[in-house]
């Protein structure tokens, strides 16, 4: 397998987490970091031994050496920045939520496919080994037939501008709610018969906390909670008619416990060692490139669009609209 020159578009906290990950991956050459602030880009590049720092995104994307770009800007800018990458012939791993809305997601994917480029959503839980473990446990029959799923994810992060600013597509749904939706989807699939949702709002007008109920065609229900104003236990619980499975930290699974109907622990599954957990999504994109694909099997384009449509629907229920300039295609 060849090595790929990896570049990061953005220089915030999540960009640094990715930088700290890829320097340990033999398939990756840490190549470039771009920020509108050259000093920030230079500091990050120097800290993690990336070869180049750029003071503009355009400058980095014009560099023919760049193979793959990780888009690490706020949700509001994912569409525009990912499109820039594709227009310059770069493969793209875009941080979640993939875009502001489904129309933008559809356009990006359509364009990437026309250019025969990989574009993937960095919803890291989809790519983790523990996701496969969860489904293997369910398939073993140890908890019986799945009847109900519950999941929550919440952090107190309203001090962050990108979380509370509508112009940056802030709010709980796109930042943490997306993880609960993906957790349900990984276990229960996509056959949702009906759904309902409700939210509270911050003073700035974005969703502060939300609750979603999904009813599937097979009669199973998922109840999901998410928040940017409350710290939750971050658990996912899958209830069957013979027991249940508890996932500690659905945002980066640390441990799975299996209980019988007497609430006795019958099995535990600790997470395997990892760099940060970000490595799995990068590996998947590289494998897609190597195999001539345009999407990652762990998070196919159809699923990216479906989840975005779900979130569009919930925002419509809540009357939550972002400024037109970040909703447009």
Q: What is the rounded average pLDDT of the residues 50-64? A: 99
pLDDT at 255: 98
Integer Cα distance of 170 and 166 in angstroms: 5
Residue 195 lies in a domain: yes
If one counts the domains in the chain, the total is: 2
Residue 278 lies in a domain: no
- Domain check: are 256 and 299 in the same one? no
1 pLDDT band (50/70/90 cuts)? confident
Cβ contact 171:320 at 8 Å: yes
Residue 277 lies in a domain: no
Residue with token string 């229920």: 317
Residue 90 lies in a domain: yes
- Domain check: are 119 and 151 in the same one? no
Residue with token string 């939300």: 210
Look up the CATH number of the domain holding residue 159: 3.30.360.10
- Domain check: are 188 and 266 in the same one? yes
pLDDT at 77: 98
Residue 227 lies in a domain: yes
**Mean of all residue pLDDT scores within the chain:** 98
- Domain check: are 96 and 138 in the same one? no
- Domain check: are 42 and 88 in the same one? yes
Residue 20 has pLDDT above 90, yes or no: yes
Domain span at residue 145?
Answer: 132-270
Buried b (16+ CB within 10 A) or exposed e, 40-71: bbbbbbeebebebbbbebeebbebeebbbbbb
DSSP state of 7: E
Give residue-wise pLDDT tens across range 65-93: 999 999 999 999 999 999 999 999 999 99
Give the SS3 label for residue 271: coil
Nearest CA-CA partner of 119 in 107, 108, 133, 131? 108
* Residue 225, φ and ψ in degrees, nearest 5: -130, 145
Burial bucket for residue 295 (CB in 10 Å: 0-12, 13-18, 19+)? buried
Give residue-wise pLDDT tens across range 179-228: 999 999 999 999 999 999 999 999 999 999 999 999 999 999 999 999 99
Give residue-wise pLDDT tens across range 128-179: 999 999 999 999 999 999 999 999 999 999 999 999 999 999 999 999 999 9
Residue 13's contacts (CB-CB under 8 Å, 6 or more residues apart) are: none
Give residue-wise pLDDT tens across range 228-284: 999 999 999 999 999 999 999 999 999 999 999 999 999 999 999 999 999 999 999
Look up the CATH number of the domain holding residue 82: 3.40.50.720
Integer Cα distance of 81 and 58 in angstroms: 9
* Residue 7, φ and ψ in degrees, nearest 5: -130, 150
Domain boundary among 237, 270, 303: 270
pLDDT at 275: 99
Nearest CA-CA partner of 55 in 43, 66, 47, 72? 43
Question: What percent of the chain shows pLDDT beyond 70?
Answer: 100
Residue 275 lies in a domain: no
- Domain check: are 63 and 187 in the same one? no
- Domain check: are 142 and 84 in the same one? no
Integer Cα distance of 84 and 9 in angstroms: 11
């Amino acid at each position: 397998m060849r090595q790929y020159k990896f570049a990061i578009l953005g220089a915030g906290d999540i960009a640094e987490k990715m930088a700290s990950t890829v320097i340990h991956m033999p398939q990756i050459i840490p190549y470039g970091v771009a920020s509108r602030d050259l000093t920030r880009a230079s500091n990050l590049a120097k800290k993690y031994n990336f070869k180049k720092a750029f003071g503009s995104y355009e400058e980095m994307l014009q560099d023919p050496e760049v193979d793959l770009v990780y888009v690490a800007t706020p949700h509001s800018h994912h569409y525009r920045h990912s499109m820039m990458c594709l227009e310059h012939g770069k493969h793209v791993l875009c941080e979640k939520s993939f875009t502001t809305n489904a129309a933008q997601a559809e356009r990006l994917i359509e364009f990437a496919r026309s250019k025969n480029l990989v574009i993937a959503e960095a919803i890291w839980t989809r790519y983790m080994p523990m996701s496969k473990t969860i489904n293997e446990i369910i398939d073993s029959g140890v908890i019986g037939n799945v009847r109900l799923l519950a999941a929550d994810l919440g952090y107190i992060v309203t001090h962050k501008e990108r979380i509370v600013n509508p112009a940056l597509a802030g709010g709980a749904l796109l930042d943490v709610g997306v993880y609960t939706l993906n957790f349900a989807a990984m276990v229960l699939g996509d056959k949702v018969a009906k759904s309902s949702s409700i939210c509270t709002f911050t003073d700035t007008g974005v969703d502060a906390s939300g609750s979603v109920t999904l009813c599937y065609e097979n009669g199973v229900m998922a109840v999901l909670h998410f928040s940017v104003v409350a710290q939750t236990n971050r658990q996912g619980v899958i209830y069957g008619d013979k027991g249940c499975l508890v996932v500690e930290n659905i945002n980066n699974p640390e441990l799975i416990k299996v209980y019988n109907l007497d609430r006795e622990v019958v099995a535990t599954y600790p997470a395997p060692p990892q760099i940060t957990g970000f490595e799995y999504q990068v590996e998947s994109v590289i494998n897609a490139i190597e195999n001539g694909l345009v999407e990652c099997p762990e998070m196919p384009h159809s699923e990216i669009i479906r989840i975005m449509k779900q979130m569009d629907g919930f925002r419509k229920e809540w009357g939550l609209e972002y400024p037109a300039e970040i909703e447009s295609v």
